[in-house]
Amino acid sequence: MWPTAFGVRETHGILWRAENLVHAASDRLGWTGVYASAQRELPYEADYAAVRDHLIILHRDGPVGVGRVLGTARRHRTVPPGGLFILPGGMDFGVRLEGRLETVHVYLRDSVLREVAAESGQSAVDLVPRLGEQDALIEQLALGLRAALDDPDPGHPVYADCLARALAAQLLRGHSARPAARPRPAGRLSRAQLGRAREVMRAGLSTPLSLRDLADAAGLSPSHFARGFKASTGLPPHRYLVRLRIEHARALLHDTDLPIAEIAAACGFAHQEHLTRAFGRWVGTTPACYRRARRD
């Protein structure tokens, strides 16, 4: 497991610019393999020192002019909505933004990228910088992370881990000097592997869990585990985990007189309203209505 959640202090510091308005960020969500933020950026020009991890910026609107400096190489492009700015880790860079812009920033841990590369048999990681190119899959993955910033679902640390590995795989396939092969279709988990993963889920219903926690229980890498778990259960790990938490909440609502706020905490939800939203999506009613109906 990573020792700490991925925080803004590990990024280049673009979000600290006074003129930027940050709408949402993942600092307090417990994400470990990826960092994400959504913001409005105003025109600026600056130089930044390298960080270890890989930066992907998705342009939500535009077009807008962007200049980029990598060493002695300078490039300028008018970037359309959906355009990407991809900067491999370990590179100093300069940037000039020439207009107001809504963006999603995603930082992918280098260790996640290398782990996914090793699983695909790729011994070296050599990402290619991009300015303005479009990639529909990376756009959807970035938007998935953006949506997760506004909904503190108890399965989202696992969800973010899954998206991080999907992002790594697409970067290696489409934005590497040595493109990786597509992964083989996943086989099912063994009964023992699935049982151990479920045990970890049930034991951790009230606490944050990561994809690596579950994968370690099954003795697999996170990427292999995620594919095998879905092949075995029909659900990705994060949705299965939320379903278990909702089932636990239903049992507590039926069998105990605990306040709904306490039930929310016992099932890993941030607060009572959070449980109510998730309960409505899965059960079709509110926790209070469910409790009354079961006792009438």
Q: Are residues 141 and 40 in the same domain?
A: yes
Q: What is the pLDDT of residue 184?
A: 59
101 bridge partner residues:
41
93 bridge partner residues:
48
pLDDT tens digits, residue range 2-26?
447 899 999 999 999 999 999 999 9
Q: Are residues 54 and 118 in the same domain?
A: yes
Q: What is the pLDDT of residue 1?
A: 42
* Sequence-distant (≥ 6) Cβ neighbours of residue 140 within 8 angstroms: none
pLDDT for 205 beyond 50: yes
Is 184 among the domain residues? Answer: no
Q: What is the pLDDT of residue 250?
A: 94
Looking up residue 248, the CATH number of its domain turns out to be 1.10.10.60
Is 96 among the domain residues? Answer: yes
Q: Are residues 198 and 114 in the same domain?
A: no
pLDDT tens digits, residue range 241-275?
999 999 999 999 999 999 999 999 999 888 898 89
**Domain tally for the chain?**
3
Is 179 among the domain residues? Answer: no
Best CA proximity match to 188, nearest among 218, 222, 233: 233
Is 37 among the domain residues? Answer: yes
pLDDT for 136 beyond 80: yes
Domain span at 94: 8-174
**Most confidently modeled of 62-71, 176-185, 210-219?**
62-71
pLDDT tens digits, residue range 161-187?
999 999 999 999 999 987 655 555 568
Q: What is the pLDDT of residue 279?
A: 92
One DSSP character per residue, the chain reads --SS---GGGS-SGGG-TT-EEEEESTTTT-SSEEEEEEEE--EEEEE---SSEEEEEE-S--EEEEEEETTEEEEEEEPTT-EEEE-TT--EEEEE-S-EEEEEEEE-HHHHHHHHHHTT-----B--EES---HHHHHHHHHHHHHHT---TTHHHHHHHHHHHHHHHHHHHSBSSPPPPPPPPPPPPHHHHHHHHHHHHHTTTS---HHHHHHHHTS-HHHHHHHHHHHHSS-HHHHHHHHHHHHHHHHHHH----HHHHHHHTT-SSHHHHHHHHHHHHSS-HHHHHHHHH-
pLDDT tens digits, residue range 30-57?
899 999 999 999 999 999 999 999 999 9
